[in-house]
Structure 1
């Protein structure tokens, strides 16, 4: 058999008659292995470059399946190809069946949403100095003076701590408002200097509208200080991890 590209795993019987187009414009099909339904297409390459086009193509297949009503899935990492289904059975489904079933139980009826928060650090620093009279006085008292290294470090640390406090107060407001709605929440790495929060939430499907309303409310509370990137529909990558050790 030729190589196959894998997208994700669903509870059997899995997606039916979706007529999706996968990578390399190949039709997406379903294969049942040990009671798990794998979404796959024929692979025309031995290795797939993690280009924007390929990554989006991978995501699109999963999202289209979810939109068609097959909401409970374990998304597989991009670029996974196999040459035989026996490999899948031997390395994944047979030894890790219990893990996979527990993940399906957790994900059933839930969806992943994500929030990324950005701020303008220069504007935040300007606002800090306008609002913090003590810090502003300390800075102003040093203007025009020849400063020692200790003095420079001291004022720099004070400003850095105050900026950290501002950042943490914003993050805490989001966590306090949103975390209670989630079965789980995962904080991910900050990807840019302007990003101050990057989190994914696993929430009940029918609570997304309420969740998004709370995100909008939080945005209003900060009166334009933040840029919020909210994704209300994505495959649950952050909550489909399991220990295969």
Structure 2
């Protein structure tokens, strides 16, 4: 017995057959036009889905495959959204949010989201910083083996942190200055791990991705082995499809 409908995302226009798509629980994915919006859905076999890696990947795969097949202007819905029927969708989503949904479709038309995450080796960067700053290195070396006061410990710690922060900001500024002109909008998020120094999503014209990718590669080469870049050139536009 089905628990309801599992919703993946919304399109502004009707879409062709979705026969090739398989969703959660390996269920076939369908489209349904409701009040002028096209919903991508499958029959839900559970009332609540665990946010496991397998389920999350299945959810994302449906959205990405739909986009790859040409259904580009998509509003992705959050993982785990199960509704009883289409009346629920009308009363709880479309009626209260119709204007916002249409505004988002207008904003995303002809656009795609890409993301750039920058990581570095903090220890290696610290060593490189000391080599390029003889005065700071000398000051640190002179303090080694001494019984330092709390004020001295704080002072040298702040100097090192300040210089490391400047190096970090210089890297970030290079990426931002080079990539921002290609984007309609940029959203910067908190780094997801200690080694990550930058985490940003860019909303770019769909046909500009190749140029954006080339720009990322060029900046990466400029920094050599200092950085590791995670560039995602194809993802559902979660960052820019937020209903406030």
TM-score range, shorter chain: over 0.9
Which stretches in structure 2 are left out of the alignment for 5+ residues? none
Flag the 1:168–1:96 CA change in 2: closer, same or farther, 3 A.
same
The residue aligned with 2:54 is 53
CA deviations 1:111-165 (Å, max 9, x no partner) are 0000111000000000000000121121122223221111011000100111111
CA deviations 1:183-241 (Å, max 9, x no partner) are 11111121110000011100001110110001001101111100001000000000000
Taking structure 2 as the reference length, the TM-score comes to 0.97
The structural deviation recorded for 1:92 is: 1.1
What does 1:31-70 correspond to in 2, within 5 Å?
Answer: 31-70=32-71
Quote the Cα distance in structure 2 between the aligned partners of 1:47 and 1:235: 22
What does 1:54-93 correspond to in 2, within 5 Å?
Answer: 54-93=55-94
Quote the Cα distance in structure 1 between the aligned partners of 2:207 and 2:15: 22
The answer to whether structure 1 residue 200 and structure 2 residue 189 are counterparts is no
What does 1:88-103 correspond to in 2, within 5 Å?
Answer: 88-103=89-104
Q: Segments of 4+ in structure 1 off by > 4 A?
A: none
The structural deviation recorded for 1:2 is: 4.4
Quote the Cα distance in structure 2 between the aligned partners of 1:93 and 1:39: 15
Does structure 1 retain, via aligned residues, the 8 Å contact 2:4–2:43?
yes
The answer to whether structure 1 residue 139 and structure 2 residue 143 are counterparts is no
The structural deviation recorded for 1:29 is: 0.4
Aligned length: 243
Partner SS state of residue 222, structure 1: helix
Which stretches in structure 1 are left out of the alignment for 5+ residues? none
Quote the Cα distance in structure 2 between the aligned partners of 1:196 and 1:75: 27
